[in-house]
Amino acid sequence: MRFHEAIHGVYFDDLDALQILHNARYLLLFERTIGSFWMRTMGWGGLLDESGNPDRYHLVRTNQIEYLKPVTGLGEVRVRIWVERLGRSSLTFGYRILPMDQDVDYATGSRVIVCVDPKTRKPAPWSIEFRQRVSPFLREAQPEPVVEGTP
């Protein structure tokens, strides 16, 4: 399984009164890592071409996070993401927030996003191109979805 990893700084204004990374900042770090995944892996940086990128329209359905070990003080952390599951119209990211020098989790979690039609905002299937581009990041190989009209 491939994963995408980004390094983020932890700054004074990220900390709470106990000098621990504020709980809401974990999701912000995760959000920024997903943003770099979209840009670096999917090429979704800058202005997006609506006609050439039907998969850009998606909404967050759920975020789940478990805080395991506090990030204390200023410094840097690594955020690692991968695709836990790829459904017809949904995608589940898994993630870990880690120190720079160890594979010990500060936090783990997941996010489910749903591809939507921009006009109706109803679930829409991911494109074949999208599926091909994210498939290397799947935790486990999944069977190809059945597409109507194919043998």
Q: Model pTM? A: 0.86
**DSSP state, residue 18:** T
Residue position matching structure tokens 């943003």: 35
CATH of domain 4-43+52-137: 3.10.129.10
Residues in the chain: 151
pLDDT digit string, tens, across residues 37-69: 998 888 776 665 666 677 888 999 999 999 999
Contact 139/83 with Cβ under 8 angstroms? yes
Domain regions of the chain by residue span: 4-43+52-137
As a dihedral over the C-alpha atoms of residue 139, residue 144, residue 145, residue 146, rounded to 10 degrees, the angle is: -170
- 32 Cβ partners below 8 Å, 6+ apart? 6, 8, 79
Q: How many CB atoms lie within 10 A of CB 107?
A: 23
pLDDT digit string, tens, across residues 77-111: 999 999 999 999 999 999 999 999 999 999 999 99
